[in-house]
A and B are shown apart, each in its own frame.
Chain A
Amino acid sequence: MAIRRGRGVAAINYPTGMNLGGDPTQALVHSTPTGNFMVTLSSVDLGQGMKQIMAQICAETIGVPTDRVVVDTADTDTGPHCMGTFASRGTHRAGNAVIQAAKEARQVMLEVAAEELEVNASDLETDGQGNILVKGAPQKSISIFDVALSAHFKRGRSISGRGMFLIPRSYPEKETGAMKPSTCYAHACTVAEVEVDDETGEVTVLTVKNVFEIGRALNPKMVEQQLVGGSWMGISHALYETTEPYYPNRDHGGTDFNQYLMPGPGDLAETEIIVLERPSGDGPYGAKGPGEMCANPQIPAVANAVFDAVGVRIDTLPITPERILRALKAQAN
């Protein structure tokens, strides 16, 4: 028996959004009487953490700590329209809508503060801790708590804002295919190292080194969640997953988690994640969509590593032990 080692590389880019159908999302932001902020959406959190990220985006824009923002989603009676959570668009589209809504609310907040402090709103800034200060004279300040109370009970102002982010529909040109299918692009490069058992066709992914460029890591720990989980899913797609293991025979499709194969906790590759940030011009604080592309480069990187190890090309996914073994036997003949 021989365990043979190989490594492979792959580099990819990934589009954000789905401009081929028109791509809108809206957000509403308002303050409560005591200066907390509600973000109202109909966007869906699938587990990637949209609620938390929208809170951080709103907090950054208004100039308050994140724990003073509450995100209310997704209820069609209260939340304005969102196209949906797919196409790596959630953070990008909803984030931009939240920024716009939060800016409008912030402006009202500063106007009320300006009235209270008897200065111009343009002379005010937030300290990020819940206070509004006069630029250059920070001793002259008012808390956002007091500003909100004033707005509600004294000045009769609604500290609120509306946000709408729409990427207009792009219609592909019939003959040339000229189109604008998406907005910004995220990037990745993965180097995978594998061992292949040349008697059984079994593949062990030893290491994956992933470099992702995602515009801006809005919350680095949450980005890490996505990227680590995505890298695992990419390896899973490369080596394990299929609903039709013997296609064109459609029998024997897995119907449970025993039969539908995915790497278990004992199959994990040593995973390294490196993140680069080239802020996108149109993303919220420069963010691009990292959620989908992070599961892509591992697939070809593993495929190329398998070839590097044993010299057979498996051009059909998934790269199962059976496909490798058949190819090795064909190669030997």
Chain B
Amino acid sequence: MKEISSAIQIIPLDYYIVLSGTLFSIGLMGVLFRRNIIAILMCIELMFNSVNLLLTAFSAYHSDPAGQVFVFFIMIVAAAEVAVGLSIVVMMKRNVESVDINLLNRLKW
């Protein structure tokens, strides 16, 4: 365990932050600009995972396991969410025969 965290610490923290920030942004952009729901779901997963990476890095730098514990929580919750999300997508596909997010716009004004 000690070795892993010291191995992680070889790379400066800033790199992790930049990396996960970049990942987060990529996910964000994907959410914003993709119209396929599946792709968007994946982008949200990407954002979650960038957070996971960041947490892990901090956890290692702070020598505090709590961060990594939290990562597990996030993974579980994300799995549950994706399960729900995909079922919603399936349901939607049945109703509108499409996975384009902008097709769903009857609720407005």
**A and B co-occur in one complex:** no
Contacts from A to B (Cβ < 8 Å): none
